[in-house]
Structure 1
Amino acid sequence: MSKSLTPMFLGSALICAAAALSVPAMAQQGRAEPTPRISVTGEGEVSLAPDMAILNLSVLREAETAREAVSVGSAAMKQVLAALKEAGIAERDLQTSGLNIQPRYTQPGPQAKPQAPKISGYAASNSLTVRIRDLSTVGAILDKTVSLGVNQGGDITFVNDDLKPGLAEARKRAVADALERARTLAEAAGVKLGRILAIEERPTRSGPMPLGKVMRAAAADSYVPVERGENNYGTSVNVVVEIAP
């Protein structure tokens, strides 16, 4: 009985061995060769004239009590707000950005027995962020706010309200720059380019920078000269291009 089954077992074993040998061969045949490619990075930048200014202004007042300091500062800020609205600044472009109250201390003189500093009064600071859409009025507005009691801040940042058109142009320039680099590399290597396999954009960088404090200049002159300059916006892209067969 066992002798008659031996050929059947041998046949099954041979079939299994043949199948096992055929699997790696089929895997090698089905494995695609990696597509030859060129990877490059392109950069694009645009310069835009700003169309809006952002001012940070503060009113600082000191008094014997915290309530009095806040009250005096609030009265001055109300005058500033009224003047800004009269100058054409919309309410949506006026935003209170901070209210800070701090005690003022007097240091004890040299004595035999150490003493802790004593509170001599309070300082209250009321801060305001202003968006100015008519840039021709920036200098006059600074001068007016200083005359009404603004005595801190004065940071100016020139920005662009709508960046979409500028960034779209920067992206086009970045892709064009990447493709030009790819063509240069392909020509140097003696190959031809095929289809684009991938495009990936890197984080966008933008250029508006604060001009710094100008309150001292505003206090010294009746008109503050302000130059808006230009803002630079840029982006970069990674482009992968196939090398044609």
Structure 2
Amino acid sequence: MKNKHLALALAAAIALPASLAHAQAPVPPQQPRIVVTGEGEATAAPDLALLSLSVMREAKTAREALDANNDAMAAVIAAMKSSGIEDRDLQTAGVQIQPRYNYTNKPDGTQDAELIGYQVTNTLSVRVRDISKTGEILDKSVSLGVNQGGGISFANDNPSATITEARKLAVADAIAKAKTLAEAAGVNLGRVLEITDQSFAPPPGPILAKARSFEAADAVPVQAGENAYKVQVNVTFELK
């Protein structure tokens, strides 16, 4: 038993200096580096118009208001389809039924609430793939009963090519900045160690540079403009 304990003690004594030597080994210095942010932007003409159209009707009873709203919205949807809008591009965004009251003040400062009717609002989201028809569709929808909403924005069905172009411009911008900084500091750029990027979709409205107007006779004038896609990259370079 004593021999066994002696062997374990000797093994620990031999291993301890080795582990200390490993722990105290110098850490190799990190290669000097520089991190540069580049930005790129590319634009594309939109190929989708996104509409939000609402029909509001009022009546004495909720049933009467809903029936009137249903008739008006059915006419609007039929008009959308006759203009070439497919079923997949028509989506009900919400239906609201709200009571309406008439409030009268009483001598004691309180109010009497008299129910005078109901209001029904049906909202339809529409994707227009032929944006040259946007003004015509807006005009037709109002003629058939749309009396609220009218929100409009423009988008691109597949912006990947535009975003790719913005990425290339962002990387080129980062390289140019890095070269300028390295030259000013009297050092040389080495290889690229890391690249990260972040893409920014355009805001819900158009950028009106190079705007195109789609306007038929008696139609709502519409400016489609361009959508701008922005990319920001962080590039890490070695320094020599």
Q: What TM bracket, shorter-length normalisation?
A: 0.7 to 0.9
Q: Which is richer in helix? A: 1
> TM-score by structure 2 length?
0.84
Per-residue CA deviations over 1:189-234 (Å, capped at 9, x if unaligned) read: 11111111111113x21224247xxxxxxxxx93211110111110
1:14-163 equivalences under 5 Å are: 20=17, 29-112=25-108, 114-163=110-159
3-state secondary structure, aligned to 1:178: helix
Query: Which residue matches 2:229?
Result: 233
In structure 2, C-alpha distance between the alignment counterparts of 1:111 and 1:229, rounded to whole Å? 58
Q: Which residue of 1 aligns with 2:211?
A: none
Deviation at 1:47, TM superposition (A): 1.1
Correspondence for 1:214:
none
Give the number of equivalent residue pairs: 220
Cα distance in 1, alignment partners of residues 235 and 204 from structure 2 = 30
Distance change in 2, residues 1:210/1:64 (3 Å): farther
Q: Any stretches of 5+ residues in structure 2 without a counterpart?
A: 1-9, 207-216
CA distance in 2, matches of 1:31, 1:61: 76
In the other structure, the counterpart of 1:182 is 178
Q: 1:179 offset after TM fit, Å?
A: 1.1
The structure that is strand-richer by fraction is 2
Residue 168 of structure 1 corresponds to 164
Unaligned regions of 5+ residues in structure 1, if any? 1-11, 212-220
Q: TM-score, normalised by structure 1?
A: 0.83
Question: Residues 210 and 156 (structure 1 numbering): CA distance in 2 closer, same or farther, change over 3 Å?
Answer: same
Q: Deviations over 1:21-71 (max 9, x none)?
A: x76665555521111101111111111111110000000000001111111
Please say which structure displays the higher CA radius of gyration.
Answer: 1
Distance 2:112 2:205 in 1: 40
- The whole-number CA distance in structure 2 between the counterparts of 1:62 and 1:166 is 46
Q: Retained in 1: the 8 A contact 2:106–2:112?
A: no
Deviating beyond 6 angstroms after TM superposition, the runs of 4 or more aligned structure 1 residues are none
Distance 1:112 1:119 in 2: 21
Distance 1:92 1:70, change over 3 A: same
Q: CA separation in 2, counterparts of 1:171 and 1:86?
A: 41
Partners of 1:23 and 1:181 in 2: CA distance: 46
Identity of aligned residues (%): 50
Structure 1 residues 27 and 72 mapped into 2: Cα distance closer, same or farther (>3 Å)?
Answer: same
| Distance in 1 (alpha carbons) for counterparts of 2:191 and 2:204 | 40
Retained in 2: the 8 A contact 1:159–1:208? Answer: no
Deviation at 1:119, TM superposition (A): 1.1
Pair 1:207-2:209 in alignment: no
**68-77 vs 29-38, which moves further:** 29-38
Structure-2 change in CA distance of 1:25 and 1:193 (3 Å): farther
State the alpha-carbon separation in 2 of the partners of residues 115 and 38 from structure 1: 70
Contact 2:37 2:234 in 1 (8 A): yes
Contact 1:140-1:224 within 8 A present in 2 as well: yes
